[in-house]
Amino acid sequence: MNEIGGKIMKRYLFLVVLLVSISVLLSGQVMSQVLPAGLPRNETFIVDQIYRYSTAQNFNIWVPGAGEQPVRQGLVSDSLWYVDQQTGKWINSLAKEPPKYNKDFTEMTVKFRNNIYWSDGVKFTADDFVFTVQTLIETPGMQWNSELSTYVKEVDKIDDFTALIKLKEPNPRFHYYFTVRWNGVYMMPKHVWEKVKDPLKFTFWPPVSLGAYVIKDADPQGYWEIFERRDDWKRTTAGIITGKPGPKYILQIYYGPDEKKVAAMTQHNLDLLMDLDIEAFQALLKRDPYARSWYKDFPWVWPDELDSRIFCLNNEKFPFTLKDVRWALVLALDIVKLNTQYVNGVSKVNPIPEPPVPFLAKYYHKPLKSWLKSFKLEVDKGVYFKPFDDTIPQKIAEWAKSQGYTVSGTPEDVFGIGWWKYAPDIAEKLLLKNGFKRDKNGKWLLPDGKPWKISIVAAPDEVDAFRLAIGASDQWKKFGIDVTVEALERDPYYTKVQIGDYDISSSWSDGCSACAANAMIDKWQYIQGLHSNYYVPSGQRALTGNCLRIKDKKLDQIIDEMGSLSPNDPKALTLGREFMKLWVENMYGIVTHGFKKFVTVDTYYWTNYPSFENPYSQPNYWFMGGRFTYHYVEPTGRK
Amino acid sequence: MENFVRYIILRIFQTLIVIFIGVTIVFFVPRLTPMDPVAGTINRINAYSPMDPKAVEKLVDTLKDLYGLKGNLLEQYIRFWTRLIKGDLGPSLAMFPTPVVDVINKALPWTIGLLVTSTIIAWLLGIILGTVVGYSPNKKWAQVISIIITCIYPVPYYIIALILVFIFAYIFPIFPLMGGTSIGLRPSFSFHFLFSLIEHGFLPAISLIIGTTCFIFMTQRALISSLTSSDFINFAEIAGLPHKKIRSYLIRNSMLPQITDLALSLGSIFGGALMTEFVFSYPGIGQILYSAILQADFNLIMGISIFSIIGVAFAALILDLIYPLLDPRIRYK
């Protein structure tokens, strides 16, 4: 028996020795050699690929689900106009000037730049534009097919660099389809696509580029993609507009979970990442002295993504049908605690459905502050209560100081203009007024005497939304409501919210489109879906951003009037503010915070990325407008 | 011989029925949930820019048509079988119009490479260690091995995976953090490529091997322990048979459940190793299936499931056919 054991153990030992030898051998291949041969580190900007691409070697970005992926769509393709999401600056890209409409908004004329070339040397002209619009109209299933076929009557080339679109009905915002926030109608190279028989199945790989970069290589498994700067980058819009070449190579890598991104950045194998949860970010700061986010100090984070956190209330489900109940839920929330204890004080509070970013705050939040302060709720007949509290930013700043943080800026700029008071006594009055009662344990009962139970649905991978759901649940429980949080994966979550199978959801613009915005004064694009024309009852999918199921004639009037105006008409801003006021009066949903992301840079190899001190351009590189930002980064000289 | 042929035909027929029922269940279950691939696509479009509400309805209609979701469930089911018989699994709905077969073909070799290798290594290691320790349970080294494995066994394998990443990719950056091979490397039979393949697959494989080895070790040790006290081993020892002969008896008699486990494990690899792929950012079918389920990609769920159902069904069939070869007491009836 010993003999057998001994022999087998010898073999086992051999295996162990073999494994150790392989490990030692592999130890020479450290990860600093992440780059393939021919890509010098000081010429390669490595960015975080925000997810694994499922269709890596397909560049048909016109088919939903096929080739449209972050970063690549900005580096390799182009559209007519952009709005920088940090500065709100209008950028004429392929178009050399803003669109021109006729008087009744039934014709739009576009003039193009005459010095832009595709990467194969062919000049971009109005022919490409006309071909793109016609192809999209003729191919159901392609992005923008539905929109363009709904509105476009005719598209014509006037000359090589001018095109005219005639519309089926007046539309002063038709150019929005060609104005990039996340994307805009991508131009097709006519000389390539005119030979294609089935535009839906064409992979367009490798793509002919209209951006300053071409795709050099891509992982068929979708973990990385390498872009190389074109030699003729000055013949692209990004090159012309920025006047700078940008890094020679851009490599995007999907490293996986946060801890691996932190590891990669600590090893200087990742220069820029999209987001981390706060714990991972703090771990990174401790280990990498070259890492930083938007602010150098607390709250570090980039707070200006154009979206907001909201507790969507199902306006069609009792008791959320009652305005007083909706307001009672607001006043039972302690926003200072919600902010500091559940999202670590790094998000801006936000009382209205408009992202609290500097550009928009100038037009909405700050001018509305005096109205918000004077706004009164009728608690009882003739008894009023002013719910707005503009000292909340100061309270959060004081909390931050008590934690030993240095706050980067004024409380209002960093933490928002204010929010609603924590007033459980007023909340109680509002509920009692509507027939609610407390039982002997202090728990709330509905007017029919049944216990008031609320479920909050939230997707845990949307970290802040989930944490806020937990926070609200804790606070409303303390107030006496029986609240549970239902954690769901994204798709079941979307399904529940869209079909109205929920009480409250911890959402963002997925639940209510009004929470988001472009960096433009005009709000119409984000509230048009709330019009009662598009209302669908619970049980059917709400796909136009109205999962709260608002149905309000006053709101319809605002949307209708706004829709008939040019977005540049000053009255559009007035109506936008009227919408905010209507929202507050009715409290359709509880907007709590602006969006934030720990967009983090490692400044070891590259510097001059946008920051609070130098906010020259949008730092959200994964949006199409990020294509300009890459050009401004500068090498530190380290090799 | 006649029995044998009849048995085989019957078993193949049973296998086909199992496959048919399995495929039918997988066809209907996702479609009976409220999940909707068309809404999924619109959500992805709406995620960053709201669509014009006027255009939404039109797009819903177009996508239903393109995705083959028009008509009632029975019509869809008939269309599905008509297509499947021709070997067409249809397009992926979330990656439309990429054919499901292309998606699977791209990911499956990584899963097969990783899981077949690690399953076989773990199985062999578990059998060897389990046999040695089970045969000499009172030896000090055997007790040490038993304690170590008993301690590791309850640790979930994704925890082991995280520990491996932390130690060998972060603290000591010996192994890469992501991918199946180095960036920019194309598949070839060069030493460089093979080395890179092993380098990237090493930690994922080790994380799987550790857990599976522990499981096989525990079962094998228990089997050997009970076998060593059985009459035929006692008799063999009293009769003075050589240890080699006794060992062969032991291993052969313990093999039946272990071969079953190996075959079913190999048959079920088409489900992938989701956690391993996720933790190591390693390519494979697991993440693809996971995304397909979350995005209600009915066709892709079907495609992967068909592979999985066929894999397990045929593993069971092959097992039934080879049992008599492993154990002469089993007969074809």
Domains and CATH numbers, chain A: 3-59+210-297+599-635 (3.40.190.10), 72-193 (3.90.76.10), 318-597 (3.10.105.10)
Q: Which residue has the tokens 């960093």?
A: A414
The burial class, CB within 10 Å (0-12 / 13-18 / 19+), for A14 is exposed
Of B42, B54, B177, the CB nearest to A150: B54
Separation in Å, CA of A380 to nearest CA in chain B: 39
Q: Using a CB-CB distance cutoff of 8 angstroms, which residues of chain A are in contact with residue B279?
A: 256-257
Distance set, CA A425 to CA A418, A421, A479 (Å): 20, 11, 10
DSSP E strands in A212-358: the ranges are 213-218, 224-229, 249-253, 272-273, 291-292, 302-313
Task: Give chain A's mean pLDDT.
Answer: 94
Task: Assess whether pLDDT exceeds 60 at residue A1.
Answer: no
Residue to mutate among A54, A142, A151, with most B CBs inside 10 A, is A54
Separation in Å, CA of A91 to nearest CA in chain B: 18
Q: What percent of chain A has pLDDT over 90?
A: 91
Separation in Å, CA of B176 to nearest CA in chain A: 6
Q: Using a CB-CB distance cutoff of 8 angstroms, which residues of chain B are in contact with residue A254?
A: 178, 281
Mean pLDDT, rounded, for A71-98: 97
Task: Assess whether pLDDT exceeds 90 at residue B19.
Answer: yes
Separation in Å, CA of B212 to nearest CA in chain A: 17
Q: Determine, for residues B40 and A146 on separate chains, whether the beta-carbon distance falls below 8 Å.
A: no
Q: Determine, for residues A54 and B94 on separate chains, whether the beta-carbon distance falls below 8 Å.
A: yes
Residue A35 touches chain B, beta carbons under 8 Å: yes
A with B: how many residue pairs have Cβ under 8 Å apart?
227
Amino acid identity at A168: K
Residue A488 touches chain B, beta carbons under 8 Å: no
Amino acid identity at A556: D
* pLDDT at residue B33 in the model: 84
pLDDT tens track for B184-230: 998 888 999 999 999 999 999 999 999 999 999 999 999 998 898 88
DSSP E strands in A452-529: the ranges are 453-458, 482-487, 504-507
Closest residue in A to B285 (Cα) is: A221
Q: How far apart (Å, rounded) are the C-alpha atoms in residues A101 and A111? A: 12
**Which helix (DSSP H) or strand (DSSP E) does residue A191 occupy?**
helix A190-193
Q: Determine, for residues B175 and A5 on separate chains, whether the beta-carbon distance falls below 8 Å.
A: no
Q: How far apart (Å, rounded) are the C-alpha atoms in residues B145 and A397? A: 57
**Local confidence band at A18 (pLDDT 50, 70, 90 cut-offs):** low
Whether ipTM tops 0.90, in short, is: no
Which of A:362-401 have CB within 8 Å of B? none
Of B98, B107, B173, the CB nearest to A55: B98
Q: Using a CB-CB distance cutoff of 8 angstroms, which residues of chain B are in contact with residue A269?
A: 177
Q: Determine, for residues B42 and A543 on separate chains, whether the beta-carbon distance falls below 8 Å.
A: yes
Q: Using a CB-CB distance cutoff of 8 angstroms, which residues of chain A are in contact with residue B138?
A: none
The phi and psi torsions of A502 (rounded to 5 degrees) equal: -160, 160
Q: Using a CB-CB distance cutoff of 8 angstroms, which residues of chain B are in contact with residue A2?
A: 136, 139
Task: Assess whether pLDDT exceeds 90 at residue A473.
Answer: yes
Residue to mutate among A51, A143, A175, A260, with most B CBs inside 10 A, is A260
Distance set, CA A321 to CA A32, A592, B78, B121 (Å): 59, 20, 45, 62
Task: Assess whether pLDDT exceeds 80 at residue B3.
Answer: no
* pLDDT at residue A14 in the model: 55
The phi and psi torsions of B64 (rounded to 5 degrees) equal: -60, -40
Q: Determine, for residues B175 and A545 on separate chains, whether the beta-carbon distance falls below 8 Å.
A: no
Q: How far apart (Å, rounded) are the C-alpha atoms in residues A373 and A369? A: 6
Which of A:251-270 have CB within 8 Å of B? 251, 253-257, 259-260, 263-264, 266-267, 269
Q: Determine, for residues A490 and B58 on separate chains, whether the beta-carbon distance falls below 8 Å.
A: no
Separation in Å, CA of A201 to nearest CA in chain B: 6
Q: Determine, for residues B35 and A58 on separate chains, whether the beta-carbon distance falls below 8 Å.
A: no
> Helix, strand or coil for residue A429?
helix
User: What radius of gyration do chain A's Cα atoms show?
Assistant: 27
Task: Assess whether pLDDT exceeds 90 at residue B48.
Answer: no
Task: Assess whether pLDDT exceeds 60 at residue A194.
Answer: yes
Q: What percent of chain B has pLDDT over 90?
A: 51
Q: How far apart (Å, rounded) are the C-alpha atoms in residues B109 and A231? A: 38
DSSP E strands in A302-415: the ranges are 302-313, 377-380, 383-385, 388-389
**Local confidence band at A31 (pLDDT 50, 70, 90 cut-offs):** very low
pLDDT tens track for B272-301: 788 899 999 999 999 899 889 888 899 999
pLDDT tens track for B113-157: 999 999 999 999 999 999 989 888 888 999 999 999 999 998 888
Of B170, B172, B183, the CB nearest to A35: B183
Task: Assess whether pLDDT exceeds 90 at residue A129.
Answer: yes
* pLDDT at residue A11 in the model: 53
Residue A144 backbone zone (phi > 0: left; psi -120 to 50: alpha; other: beta): left
Residues B261, B264, B267: CA angle, nearest 5 degrees: 150
Q: Which residue has the tokens 């940008």?
A: A246
Residue A621 tokens, joined = 């590189």
Start-to-end Cα distance in chain A: 61
